[in-house]
A and B are shown apart, each in its own frame.
Chain A
Amino acid sequence: MFDWDWAFTLEILPRLLEATLNTLIAAGAGYVIAVFLGLAFALAQRTPFRALTLGVREAVEFIRSTPLVLQIFFVFFVGPQFGVTLSPWTAGMIAIGLHYSAYLSEVYRGGIESVPKGQWEAAAALSLSTRDTYFRIIIPQALPPSLAGMGNYLVGIFKDTPMLSVIGVAELMHTANAIGSENYRYLEPYTMVGIIFLCISLPAAAMVRSFEAWVRRKLGLS
């Protein structure tokens, strides 16, 4: 029915593992951008400036409801049209970071809204500054309910990195494509890519869950 070539598999494994490292770097870098930019988006939606709040809200909606792969093309190709050339890596990190910051801002927003009103009042009763109220009272409590979502999107960003192959970032999918077209064999490279993804994302998802439980215990919330 089909012939799985073990020798070929072993031969391409080092190349795939090297590309896995690139995939992890891309996911990590994109995530770091998303974590901070997402917080900025979430906090911007809580300012009293209505225009800013609505503008950011709409931008988040826009980013969330359009395809990441199209956004990657947009960032990569629009720059040169106006004389700014971005490397595939830079364009990819901007696109994927921006995309996930929209998702993370929603996670943070949900977390912040889950903190009871009484906590804001208690902070006000102690005359805490707005900054202290956010960073010492509200965010520490908004974090545990946000952790599950944050963790899921870390795994999510990892699973979306193959889209970076379309602009030539040398991650796993791109490497598998290259191997396939060099050797006219797609069975092993594509299957191995699937297995590598499973081997990373399943334990990662489990770790996210236990980390969340650990933080909750640590903060005395359960």
Chain B
Amino acid sequence: MSYTEFLAEHGPRLLDGTLVTAAQFFLATALAIAVALVMGLMKLSDNWLLKGVSVVYIEIFRGTSLLVQLYWIFFVLPLFGVTLEKFTAGFVAVGMNLGAYGAELVRGGILAVPKGQWEAAYSLSMSPARRMWRIILPQALLNMLPAWGNLLIELLKGTALVALISVADLMFEARQVNSATYLSAQTFGTALIIYYVFSRFLITPFMRWLELVMRRKMGRA
């Protein structure tokens, strides 16, 4: 069987899987951003309770494996009365895991904003919330954008694990095709290339573009 024949026969399946992977990617990204912002800000808080919660969250999710967390959320959480459907369990696990890494980026990005900016905002009598939202966060965002580019690639790679709880993503479909055909090089090779194109030609250029736009908007181009 030639590679073109292989693609004609199994390409549609891999494409379906790719769409599911894309959906997992976007949902998990949205969750990761939300978690990162909340946990990152909480870790900078003076309130020991908020700070403590974020430290525990970050350490647990960064200290154990994504796969362990995924299995735990899917298989163990129902015992606590929280049953998530496998598609939901998939992006929730990925989003919560990468969100913990993102929280450290948020924290680092905020701390990298020069002290003078805090003082200037304070001298304008801005409320702490307004100061954070209007003055500090936009600058912090620019500081951490390059690191987020790498994080999103890690997140995309993380979504491949949802196949192990039978979410029909690209990884899952590749395994199905492989066990049906035993054409491992073609199957897994194609899947690898799709992931590569996704991160190298979609995520990376998009993040570069975003950085450029932000830079221009903030007059730092």
Contact = CB atoms under 8 A, between A and B. Distances in A.
A71 interface: yes
Contacts of A173: 65, 67-68, 71
A68 B157 contact: yes
A186 B80 CA distance: 12
Contacts, number: 117
Nearest to B150: A64
Interface stretch (B45-53, B112-120, B193-201): B193-201
Given A67-B157, A78-B185, A180-B75, 14 more contacts: A1-B80, A62-B192, A62-B196, A65-B156, A65-B200, A66-B157, A67-B156, A67-B160, A74-B184, A77-B178, A193-B64, A194-B64, A197-B65, A198-B59
B161 interface: yes
Contacts of A128: none
B153 interface: yes
A163 B206 CA distance: 29
Contact of B64 (A1, A80, A198): A198
A126 to B, nearest CB: 37
B24 to A, nearest CB: 12
Contact of A193 (B68, B153, B159, B163): B68
Interface string B55-86: 00001100111111101100110011100000
23 contacts: A65-B156, A65-B195, A65-B200, A66-B195, A67-B159, A67-B161, A67-B195, A68-B157, A70-B188, A70-B191, A71-B192, A73-B178, A74-B188, A78-B185, A159-B63, A162-B65, A186-B71, A187-B76, A190-B72, A194-B60, A194-B68, A201-B64, A202-B63
B80 A70 contact: no
A70 B182 contact: no
A78 B188 contact: yes
Residue of B68, B79, B178 with most partner-chain A CB within 10 A: B68
A67 B172 CA distance: 13
Nearest to A79: B184
Interface of A: 1-2, 61-62, 64-71, 73-74, 77-78, 80-82, 159-163, 165-166, 173, 176, 180, 186-187, 190-191, 193-194, 197-198, 201-202, 205
Contacts of A66: 157, 192, 195-196, 199
Contact of B196 (A65, A74, A161): A65
A154 to B, nearest CB: 14
Interface string B206-218: 0000000000000
Interface string B137-177: 00000000000000001001111110110000001001100
- Chain B interface category by residue count: 35 or more
B130 to A, nearest CB: 36
B183 interface: yes
Nearest to B203: A65
A157 to B, nearest CB: 11
B192 A159 contact: no
Given A65-B200, A66-B157, A70-B174, A159 B65 contact: yes
A82 B163 CA distance: 26
B189 interface: yes
A62 B174 CA distance: 18
Contacts of A165: 67
